[in-house]
Structure formats: C-alpha cells, structure tokens
Amino acid sequence: MSELRASIKAKQAETLARLTPNTLHIALYLRSDPPLPNDFHWAFYLHNGTGSTPVGTKYHVRGIGGGWIPGHEATAGIFAENFLCVMIQIGTIPASAHARVDELMRINDQTLNSIPGITCRTWLLEVLGVLVEEGFVHCDVRELEKDCMEIGNEHSWSASTNEQPRPAVMWRKASLYWRFTGRCWLGSVVLDYTFSA
C-alpha cells in the first residue's frame, strides 16, 4: 500500500473514531462528476460505536433496474465509501432506542415500489418524518432538507477532487431550531425549556 493511500485510510479511521456515539447523520454522496447542484444520493447513518470500536448502520434505498430495494447494512468504514460528500449530524439516539429506530428505518422496506415518485431522498424524508413524529429527531423536515442541500453543495467540489477525509458536520440550524421550540439536546436527553417574556 502506498504511503498516500495509508495516510488517507488513517485519516478516515480517525474521523470515524471521533464521531460521538449514538449520533444520527444524513450522509450525502455525489451522483455525478463534475457535481451538479442538489444532486446527491441520500442515506442515514446511525453511529453506535465508540472510539475504539467505531461501527454503525447505514440505511438507504437504491434504484435497481426499474425498481427500488433497501440497502441497510452495518459498516465500519463509512468514511472510506466511494463518492461520500459529507456527513451531517442531525440528532442523538439513546442506545436504548436503537432497536426502535432500526424498526422505523425499515418501515417501508416491503412496499418501496408502491410509493409514488420514490427516490433515495424522498424515502429518507418520509422516514425522517416518522422519526420526528416519534420524537427521535427534532426538526422541520423541509428546512432540514434545504439545509442538507446547501451543505452538500458547499462540499461537493472538494468531494469530486477526493479531498480526504470527508467532513462530518453538525446541522448548523439545530441550535436555533431548539431555541425557538424550547427544546435542546444534552447528550441523549432532550431538555424542555420555558422562556419568560
């Protein structure tokens, strides 16, 4: 293995090891080169590992032929995946809730091809809506979609030139959203605040 390749693999492993355990991310992948604006493959990544055992589960759907199939899989190398553009942390999922979140991620697996206009993005947004309804993620789904597009567009050129490691960022409006809704995350606990005028 060349020194450059070994250095890249080491940086990718360090980035993965630095992810906070029990965090939920949206992973965006390039779909074209040169990259086109707002043109990404969308996936969830639930990081359930620790610094010493960095593993997680990637949840997504893929178009195969004329249909769609689920592509959920455990991975210890999300940062080494081809065409990864950026990882956007959108929440914290307590370890005790991982099994329920896994069920919700798979809720449409048997009926994917009956969902009108399905794409990887629309599937993710539909599941995100369920995660919001069940209280696992706190956001406005359409606002988060728009922000993810902007974040992806910001990082698409560096992804197309294969700058490594790929970035992991926190959704930048999360603190504003929590401030206006009176909700704030502290680790895996959601705290409710009351504001007086």
The answer to whether residue 44 scores a pLDDT higher than 90 is: yes
Q: Give the residue, 173 or 27, on which the prediction is more confident.
A: 27
**pLDDT for the residue 114:** 94
**pLDDT for the residue 173:** 58
DSSP assignment of 18-75, as one string? HSPTTEEEEEEEE-SSSPPTT-EEEEEEEE---SSS--EEEE-EEEETTEEEE--EEE
Q: Give the residue, 195 or 71, on which the prediction is more confident.
A: 71
The answer to whether residue 194 scores a pLDDT higher than 50 is: no
Q: What count of residues does the chain have?
A: 197
Residue 6 pLDDT class (50, 70, 90 cuts): very high
CA 131/CA 95 separation, integer angstroms:
15
- Residue 167's SS3 state is coil
The answer to whether residue 188 scores a pLDDT higher than 80 is: no
**pLDDT for the residue 50:** 75
